[in-house]
DNA sequence: GCGACAG
DNA sequence: ATCTTGTCGC
């Protein structure tokens, strides 16, 4: 059963890029990086993703809860709303978070570890979507992105499980993780209350058969399907 | 200054 | 993110 709700953009949501960057600078200090996070294969893991229809000004977020041991779907929810911010590199969170928060709130059970489609610490101001969502909810969060953004990395060795640092200059902000032999890696970073090493281990545990973790695959499919049938939000 | 840049 | 058909291969 899937719960569907309406998402509202908060009244105090930033209206300009300057305001949004100021929010990131203010919240960044609240990120917790000294917790390892839950062991892979234990408890629950929730994938969140968002789909857009700019023509209709509709955004739909999905949250899909998986049993970490079996990767079976335990619960899922979607939230539809109006687009709250334009896409600006470095400010993705302001476009996705209101809908994602509504979807998480609509879940009938605790989400456990939250896996985001995007970055956490691997961000120009070290405060990407996953970190932002973690600070707002208090939940352990991590990011798995499909592209290296503006960061550099050396291609990991071919075997699944190989990794290489994702670098901002000399700083390791994340890791390129090979989830399938010889296939383009995914880009993992810590969000909140999860270590980078654990985020990489979680990613491998969540991606036994495909390049992308099951959390992202399931949440991506759900928000896209929901977008097709979404009514115009209030 | 110009371009590149998670989704 | 989204626009988009068929096609090659396991």
Cβ-based neighbour number of residue A58 at 10 Å: 20
Closest CA to A149 of A123, A180, A127: A123
**pLDDT tens digits, one per residue of A131-188:** 999 999 999 999 999 999 999 999 999 999 999 999 999 999 999 999 999 999 999 9
Cβ–Cβ < 8 Å for A230, A60: yes
Chain C positions with a protein C-beta closer than 7 Å: 1-2
Find the helix or strand (DSSP H, E) in which A59 lies. Answer: strand A58-67
> How wide is the angle at C-alpha A200 spanned by C-alphas A196 and A204, nearest 5°?
165
Our measurement of CA A150 to C1' B3, in angstroms, reads 12
Q: How far is the CA of A224 from the C1' of C5 (A)?
A: 20
What are A110-131's pLDDT values in tens digits? 999 999 999 999 999 999 999 9
Q: pLDDT digits over A46-68, tens only?
A: 999 999 998 899 999 999 999 99
Statement: the CB of A227 is under 7 Å from strand C: yes
The pLDDT tens digits of the residues spanning A19-38 come to: 999 999 999 999 999 999 99
pLDDT band at A234 (very low <50, low <70, confident <90, very high): low
Answer whether A185's CB lies under 8 Å from A159's CB: no
Q: Whose CB is within 7 A of strand B?
A: A 49-50, 52, 87, 89-93, 117-119, 123, 128-130, 143, 145-150
Q: Which nucleotide is closest to A216, CA to C1'? A: B7
Q: Residues of A comprising the binding site for Mg(2+)?
A: 49, 117
Model pLDDT, residue A1:
78
Confidence tier at A231 by pLDDT (50, 70, 90): confident
Q: Is the CB of A116 under 7 A from strand C?
A: no
The nt closest to A51 (CA vs C1′) is: C1
Measured over the CA atoms of residue A13, residue A28, residue A146 and residue A87, the dihedral's sign is: positive
Q: Has domain A2-7+24-229 been given CATH number 3.30.2170.10? A: yes
Q: Which tokens belong to A178?
A: 């090979």
Burial class (CB in 10 A: 0-12, 13-18, 19+), A224: middle
Domain locations in chain A as residue ranges:
2-7+24-229
Looking only at the bridges linking them, the beta strands covering A113-117 and A73-81 are unpaired
Region A88-109 average pLDDT: 97
pLDDT tops 70 at residue A232: no
Contact in structure between A126 and A143 (CB atoms under 8 Å): no
CA of A212 to C1' of C8 (A): 22
Nearest nucleotide, CA A132 to C1' = B6
């Amino acid at each position: 059963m899937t719960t569907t709700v309406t998402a509202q953009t908060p009244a105090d949501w930033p209206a300009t890029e300057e305001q949004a960057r100021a929010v990131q600078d203010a919240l960044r200090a609240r990120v917790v990086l000294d917790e390892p996070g839950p062991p892979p294969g234990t408890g629950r893991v929730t994938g969140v993703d968002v789909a857009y229809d700019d023509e209709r000004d509709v955004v739909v977020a999905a949250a899909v809860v998986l049993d970490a041991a079996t990767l079976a779907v335990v619960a899922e929810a979607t939230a539809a709303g109006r687009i709250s911010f334009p896409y600006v590199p470095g400010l993705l969170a302001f476009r996705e978070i209101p809908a994602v928060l509504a979807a998480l709130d609509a879940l009938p059970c605790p989400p456990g570890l939250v896996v985001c489609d995007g970055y956490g610490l691997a961000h120009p101001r070290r405060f990407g979507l996953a970190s932002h969502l973690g600070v707002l909810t208090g939940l352990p969060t991590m990011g798995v992105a499909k592209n290296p953004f503006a960061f550099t990395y050396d291609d990991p060795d071919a075997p699944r499980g190989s990794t290489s640092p994702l670098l901002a200059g000399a700083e390791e902000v994340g890791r390129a993780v090979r989830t399938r032999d010889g296939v383009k890696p995914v880009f993992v970073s810590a969000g909140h209350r999860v270590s980078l090493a654990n985020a990489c281990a979680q990613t491998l545990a969540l991606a036994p058969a495909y390049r992308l973790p099951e959390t992202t695959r399931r949440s991506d499919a759900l928000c896209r399907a929901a977008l097709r049938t979404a009514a115009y939000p209030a």
